Each structure stands twice: as structure tokens, then as C-alpha cells.
A and B are shown apart, each in its own frame.
Chain A
Amino acid sequence: MTSNTTARDTAQGTDERLHAAGLHAPASAVLSVRDLNVRFNTENGVVHAVRGVDFDVMPGKTLGIVGESGSGKSVTSMAIMGLLPPTAEITGSVRLQGKELLGLSDKAMCRHRGSDLAMVFQDPLSSLTPVYTVGTQIIEALTVHNPTMSKQAKEARAVELLGLVGIPSPKDRLKAFPHEFSGGMRQRVMIAIAIANNPRVLIADEPTTALDVTIQAQVLEVLHAAQEETGAAVVMITHDLGVVAGMADDIMVMYAGRPVETGSVDDIYYSPRMPYTMGLLGAVPRVDVAEKSSLVPIDGIPPNLTQPPTGCSFAPRCPLASEACLDGEPDLRAVAPGTGHRAACIKSEALADVDVHTVFAVPDVPVSRFDSLPRHERKTVLELRDVRKHFPLMKGALIKRRIGTVKAVDGLSFDIREGECFSIVGESGCGKTTTLLEIMEFHKDQDGEVVIGGLSNKQAADAKAKSSMRKELQMVFQDPTGALDPRFTVYEVLAEPMENLGMPKAAIRKRIMELMELVGLQADHVNRFPNQFSGGQRQRIGIARALAVNPRLVVLDEPVSALDVSVQAGVINLLDKLRAELGLSYLMVAHDLSVVRHISNRVAVMYLGKIVEIGDVDAVFDNPRHPYTRALLSAIPVPDPELERTRERIILQGDLPSPLEAPAGCNFATRCPVFAALPPARQEKCLTLEPALEASATDQQFACFYPDGELDADMVVVHENH
């Protein structure tokens, strides 16, 4: 059925299409993919996961493949590597330096894998064999392709590689096991393995998705260095438009298994011609833009690839779709003659210089009734006074003795006023989640005071007080799938908190219908189970559950980090709308600073259990004073190639230190770029005294002796021309 149409398309010839478009001359390409198709036989029928992908990569250049989950980008990379299961049916052509790779046996493929074709995978935690040392695993990659290499030479090369990817004292670390490395370090090891044999093509599949922003910046830097070292062509697969903006030369946007727009990075970012690309770009919040506008949500879900599409596969979600869009799937066509910019949209010509906000129905920026009130006139919803949570570190089996203290949260004070969104940001392990848990705990034996809606944990902490506290404060969790009981219908999920409060049945029913409408779900879906909803819809159910009892404060624990960009935009818009309409306050924990900037009014930056900078979100983000905030902000990639290319980036050295090794003076001194540049005489102060949050005339407070200090040159990276 599909094969007929695809076969016909193929017959017309990818070559012909490419030549007509005047594209790259494939002769110089190191990797050429032509009409790649991948089908999987599943219980639900044949899934056509990749449908006709063409691209060329030139030596030393970077191609970014961008798309939502399920768009076929990872399957494409695995098909090139020959790592798909044998049940996958792969057709088309993959040529590496002119040699056809498809159809090669596993054994023949092995001569290329790891030698001229290498790959870095997404999850560094599970990608290394836990029972072998890092050295063994690097040396194995060398042994496979250089059987005659001497043991000393291999060891020397392994040390050299570890040094290259920035692992300190590489010689000793060869004997370390993967579990002795942090996630970022393991990803460096993965990169070292991948570049061990100087590959011609390096495929990186979401190499930084699982990492913190500061570590992401380090790893991207290493990838960059590795590319320069080997001169390899890089295929970078990601869903994050920011990550590729600074790295890629060309971009291919994929949707439903097909490339829908390709072109140079500037073409794609500055003049997208396909509504999907425009939507993706508009859906990403920007960390560097203060002006507030709603994000572009792309409604709907990607199509089911078991059914051959009869029209444009994006049409069901496209605001511009018309009758003509449903008649046959559009091919990739050159947008302007003579350029490599191509888009698969029949309306691409009309889309030049069109603002994405006019294409997609973008809601207005919601205004809360509290927004006009000055902050100090609003009531306090939540207040923390010097909250601490120290975990004793014990040793010994029978008789335990204390060998140290982990200061997960160390003297936290802040308040949240009515109608405002307060966010806590920081790397994983800085104590964000512990802070939330301390607030939810609400017990009189806690170290420090938590005041929720005027009720302190010190005064009233019996069951009754607690339940009235719970009514004031509700929580939305990170993973919407895990947070909903799979055996409860949506009705039961939403009814439970209200039943707990003893509301009458009729009122509950009425309230549930209101809630469904409030979060943008269809009211007649209440009898469905959570697995019948998409990820974004499940998070909406989670939000509805939190709102069921009319709380004043909602705690959001990474509310959108598990969602795709386009879905994320819809949820963020919803949260923004609810805050304005219901006068809610939010306490949000997030690692994505762009999301934080977009939705928050105030922000606190945490480092090792302490707030290092706090204040109005625009003040903190536009004028960060603490070196850590500066580093965090500079590490965030921005979906703007121009800016990315010239931006000054602070690359912090190393990982977040273990809370055990917290230094006596300033916690951050070990990684601080300002500290590193200070003369020893002035460093003394940082090492001995602990900087406190200084109250200032403005709302912005920071804990640093040398704000706006000179940065250490070694930690600052600028890529002039790329």
C-alpha cells in the first residue's frame, strides 16, 4: 500500500530531486544517505518509522537532526550504524566514503563501526559495561581495529584519549570502573571510545539530554574539541534546538519519519518555511529574552506510523492546513533556487517573513489580578525561615558511627507572595528536591520554620492542622505517567483529594467537570484511564488533581521536563493561564532555566544546599552577580545561531562536589571562575569566610565577596567562527 507510493517516489529518483535542487555534490560527502526507509513489524502492524531520509555530511561539518520523540531520528542513526534488530526492514542507501553500508553482514559492518563510523549514545549511565574498567573498555575499541598494536601503545593512546576529553589524571583513572564516574565524566569516556580510532563520521544521539546544563556545556565543548582533533563529520541528533544552534552547519528537521525541512542552520532558524519548524522554534522559551509572550503550542500528537499518510503528515496539527494539504504528501522542495534550503510544505513560499505567532493560535499573555499590586502589599503564602536538613552519614554494620554530615539543605529562607511564581534552580544534587520534601513534611521537629498560609509547622502540626495545610498546598510531579495510578480512571484520580476533604458526591462531580474544562481536557473523557492519554494530557490531569481542592500554592516539581518541546509549550501556557485566572502561587523546581525565566516572577539559585542568589527573575537573569549564576546562564544554549557563535561561555570545571567535601569558606570556590582569577591574597577570604546573602536596596540578593569579578580566562570559551 505505502510501498507503492514510496516506490513511485523513489523511482522518480532521489538523485534527480537532489540534482534539481542543486544540492551538495555527493562525491565529496563522507556520509551520504539516500531514501532510507525503516519498517518494523509489530503486533499493531508494520510501523514505517523512517520514510525516505536523504542527507549528505561533509568532512569536518556538523549536521543537526531535530525532531520530537518518535520522529525517527534515533532510528535513522541506528540504521546507519547497522545496530537495529534484524527484524527491522531497511531499504535505501547509506554510503560511507563511497562504500555502501546497507546490506553488509554484522561482521562486515564491524570493520566500520568504531573505526570510521562511531557513535555516542544518550544515556551515559547505562552505556558503559559496569563490570569492566574504563581503560579496558577504551582499549577494547583500539584492539578490535588494531590487532597488532602493542599493549603499551594502546595504554598510551587510552591515556591520551582520556586527557583529550578532559578527565583529570587520566593515567590513574584508566583503572577506575564506570560507577566511580559521574554522568558527565562517563559521557566523556563514551566520546573517548568513539574517537579512539579517528572516525570519519561521529554520530551523537542526544549526547547531553541526560546531563545538567553546566555538564552539558562541558560535554558539548569536548565534542567540539573531538571534532577539531579528528576532523570528523558529526551527525548530532537532538530535540533541543538550542543545543544544535551553536554547533551545526546544517539542520534537518524530521517529522513522522520524514525530513520536513532541511537547510543551513541560519536558513532554518531565521527563515523557517515549514509550519512545524516554525512551531518548534516558537515553542522553545528563551533564556535571554525578558519580554514575555506566550509560547507556541503545537496541538495534537504525531501520527501513527502504521497507517500510510494520505496527505501531509503534519496537516492534522497544522493551523494552516487546507484541503490541498490532504492530497498527497508533499516532497521536499527547494525554497529558493540555488540554495540548499528545502521544505516539505505546499505553502512554503507564502511563509517567508511570516511571524510564527500569527500562524499558530497563540494565547494572549495572561494577566493576574495580583500583577499590578506591589509585591510587599500582597499576602505571604509560604515562608521558609532558616530551614535545614542534614543527613548524617553513617558507617559500620552493627554499631553505626557518624563519619560526616550531608548538608542537603543548609539554612534556606525565602517567601512566596500571592499570585507569584517562585522558582528554585540549580544542578542535580543541590538540594532542590529536598527543599520541596521539607515543605511537604511540615512537622514540628523540623529544623527551621515553614509557614504555609499563616500556619507554622512549629505551632500546629497535628493531623488536623496538617490536613488544612494540604488544602492550601498541592503538588504536581515530574513524571506524569508515574504520578497517576494506572488503575484509576481520571474521575477517580480527580475525586480522591476531594473525597478526602469530605465533599458531597454531587459537588465533586460538578467540580471535576469544571476542572477538566479548566485544564483543557474534554469533560467526557473522565472515564478513561491515564494510559489512554498522551504525556501532555497526563500532565494536565496531574495539574487538575492538584487544583481540585482549590489550593493557594501549587508546588511544581520539574513539571515539563518529561515532555516534548511542542507539548511542553502547551503545559507552560496552561500553568501561566491558571496562575493568572485563579490567582495561584507556584513554587517550581526546574533545571531548565529557559522555562524558569519564561514562567517565573522570582528565582533562587541553589548551590550545595544554599541559596547563592535570589531575586526578581529578570534582574537575576539579565544581571547575574554571583559567578555561579553567571556560569549557569552562560551554559544554556539559545536557539539563535548568530548569538551562539559569538557568545562567551563559562565552562565550569568538574562536577558538583559531594556535599561531604563542602569547603570551609565559600562552597563554590572549588569551581568558581572568579576565584580562579583572583590573586592569592584575595582568595584567602573566599576560603575562610562564608559569604552570606547580602540584603540590598533592590530585591536581588547574592552571596559572593567579589560579584562581577574578572573571570578566569581558562574557563571562558568563545567560538569565533563556529
Chain B
Amino acid sequence: MLRYLAKRALTYVFMIFLTTSAGYLLAVSTLQPALLEQERIPRPTPEQVVNSFRLKGLDPTLNPWERYVDWLTGILTRWDWGRSPNGAFINAEFGDRVWISTRLFLASIILTLVIGVALGVFTAARQYKASDRAITSYSYLMYIVPAPIAYFLVQLGAININESVGERVFFVTGISTPGLDGDGWAQFVDMLAHYAVPTFAITIVGWGAYQIAQRQYLLDNVNADFVRTARAKGLTRNQAISRHALRVSFIPVAQSIAFTIPAIFAGGFFAEKIFAWHGVGSWSIDSIALQDVNAATATLAYGSVIFAVGAILADFATTLVDPRVRVQ
């Protein structure tokens, strides 16, 4: 198993190298941070711009290949992912951003998975009954509604609650109240007040997909021949389903869960923008708007790594739950 994982990891490292290199070359030949500098007041002379960029390792006079070699050498020798046009160091920025994304998504994704899979099983067992129809319709609705709209609605709801209560119960944006003094309890309440709205919003939008998938896979297996065999042994229908069908139907769901977990750390653009948590997701989009070659490439590389980890986790999850899959 370890050998297999090592082999897979090696393949992915190679693929990450390829995508990242291609991404860098594309970014460096299309993004022009020098143009943005022209909008500054007072407008810097082209020489000043080139000089300042050269000091940050972003020399626009070098050709893309030379810059690629410089950039790659920096990473391989010093693990230095370069700097942004505004002078910020990517390495330093990165850690903060990942931590913010993680804090935003961790709780809500765990809730999403647990609620989604549980409701999937619940509705499959009650196929076509009122509860199934209501829950499954809701899940499809959440498929259709664009996530930002749902987030805005939750924000509006929270604001309404605040207004009707007459004081600020929930914060609809931000991570924490700046300059808050007080003991641990006050800090904790402040954290909850900030966490509640985004976590709630991401969760209620997210679990629909898992509910639909788990329900579908379980229903595919509810009438399977082996469930019939289990019933013929003397298990009741519900026992047969929970002991035999559930485990089999969880195999594909486990795979998709394994893919989701690393994505927690990559964050999401809409949620981060709307709730003003400046994590990796919003950074990746912003970096393109700001013509930031190094940041854009770094987020791309990070995305590839997360994907690779997800794929390996999915393999791992499959071998864990499905004895038919054997690693050679």
C-alpha cells in the first residue's frame, strides 16, 4: 500500500510540476503589472517601474523563459515563491490566507457531509413519502440557486434578526471584531457571532449534493439481489438495508468525500468575498485582477496539490471501504 501511495504521489508531483510551470509561463506572458503602475498618482516613469520591479524579482525586461528559470530556481533552492507587485512576500501571505480559508470552511464542510449523508439515508428509506419529497426538492432547489444568492439571503436574514432583536447578535461579515478587549468568554462569543452566519450559509447550500448522491446510491442498492438474500436469511427489510445496502452505497460517496476534504483548505471564492474572509479563494481571483504573476501561480500550484491529495485520499477511501479493490 505504501509503495503504491508513493508511486501515485510521484506521478502527481510530476503532474503538479507540469501544470504549475504551464500556469507560470501563461501568467508571465499575459499579466502586465507594469500597466497598473501607470495608474498611480504621481505617475512613475517607466524606468522607475522597471527598477522597482527588478528589485522585487519581477523584471519585465527579461523574457518569459528567463523569468521562469529564475522563479523555479528560487522555489527549488530557497522555497521562495517570489513577491507580489506591491512587494508582499508570497510565502508569508500564503500561510495567513490558507488558515483563514480553513477556519471559514472546516466546520461547515463537516456539517455538510454529516447532514447530507444522514439525510440521504433517511430519505432513501422513505422514498416518495412526504419527508423524502420535501428534503429532496430542497436539495434540488439548492442545486439551482447560485451560491452567492443563497449567501446574500442568509445575510439578509441575519440582519433582519439583528434588527428585530434590536442589537447586533450576528456579524454578517468579517472574522472578528478588531480591537476587542475582554476575557476569553467575550472572545468566544465574538467568534461565534462571526462564525454563525457563514457556517450556516455554506452548510445549507452544500449538503444538497451529498443528500442527492447518497439517496440515489442507496436506492440503487435497496432492491439489489444481495439485499434480497439478506432478507431471505431472516433479516427485516430495514436491517437488510442498513447492514448490506448502506455499506455498498457508501463506496462512491466515500470517494467524493475524500475529494472534498482537502478542498476545505483551498476555500471558495464567493463565500470568502461575500463574508469578507480573505482566504485563498478570493486571493486567487484578486491576484489575476492585480496582474500578480507569482500569487496567481502559487494559488494554482496549491490547487493542484489539493487535488492530488484528494485523489490519493479517494483511492485510499475506496480501498478502505471496498474489499474488491486490491492494490497491487
Interface residues of A (CB under 8 A from B): 81, 83, 106-107, 110-115, 118-119, 121, 123, 126-133, 137, 140-141, 144-145, 177, 179, 190, 193-194, 395, 397-398
Contacts and interface: CB of A to CB of B under 8 A. Distances in A.
The 8 A-B residue pairs with the shortest CB-CB distance, nearest first, are A114-B234, A114-B233, A126-B225, A144-B234, A141-B233, A129-B226, A127-B225, A119-B232
B163 to A, nearest CB: 51
Q: Pick the most buried of A119, A121, A123, A127: most chain B CB atoms within 10 A of its CB.
A: A127
A137 B232 CA distance: 12
B48 interface: no
Contacts of A107: 236
Q: Pick the most buried of B233, B243, B323: most chain A CB atoms within 10 A of its CB.
A: B233
Contacts of A127: 225-226, 228-229
A110 B7 contact: no
Nearest to B4: A397
Interface string B233-274: 111110000011001100100000000000000000000000
Given A107-B236, A113-B234, A144-B235, A128 B11 contact: no
A112 B328 CA distance: 44
A129 B244 contact: yes
Given A177-B323, A398-B11, A106 B236 contact: yes
B247 A118 contact: no
Contacts of A398: 7, 11
Given A106-B237, A123-B225, A131-B248, A83 B232 contact: yes
Q: Pick the most buried of A129, A145, A395: most chain B CB atoms within 10 A of its CB.
A: A129
B321 interface: yes
Interface residues of B, number: 25
A487 B33 CA distance: 57
Contact of A190 (B229, B237, B323): B229
Contacts of A123: 225
Contact of A110 (B229, B234, B247, B248): B234
Given A141-B234, A144-B235, A131 B247 contact: yes
B324 interface: yes
Given A121-B225, A179-B324, A398-B11, A129 B230 contact: yes
Given A121-B225, A121-B229, A110 B324 contact: no
A110 B226 contact: no
Given A129-B244, A130-B248, A398-B11, A144 B324 contact: no
B124 to A, nearest CB: 15
B18 interface: no
Contacts of B251: 131
A277 to B, nearest CB: 30
A113 B233 CA distance: 6
Interface string B212-239: 0000000000001110111111111100
A115 B321 CA distance: 30
B132 to A, nearest CB: 16
A114 B234 CA distance: 5
Contacts of B96: none
A393 to B, nearest CB: 12
B226 A128 contact: yes
A368 to B, nearest CB: 45
A106 B232 CA distance: 11
Contact of B231 (A83, A111, A133, A397): A83
B226 A193 contact: no
B322 A83 contact: no
B232 A114 contact: yes
Given A110-B234, A113-B233, A395-B328, A131 B228 contact: no
A419 B159 CA distance: 88
Q: Pick the most buried of B226, B228, B324, B328: most chain A CB atoms within 10 A of its CB.
A: B226
B233 A126 contact: no
Nearest to A120: B232
Contacts of B324: 130-131, 177, 179
Contacts of B236: 106-107, 110
Given A121-B225, A123-B225, A113 B231 contact: yes
Contacts of A106: 236-237
Given A131-B322, A131-B323, A397-B7, A140 B233 contact: yes
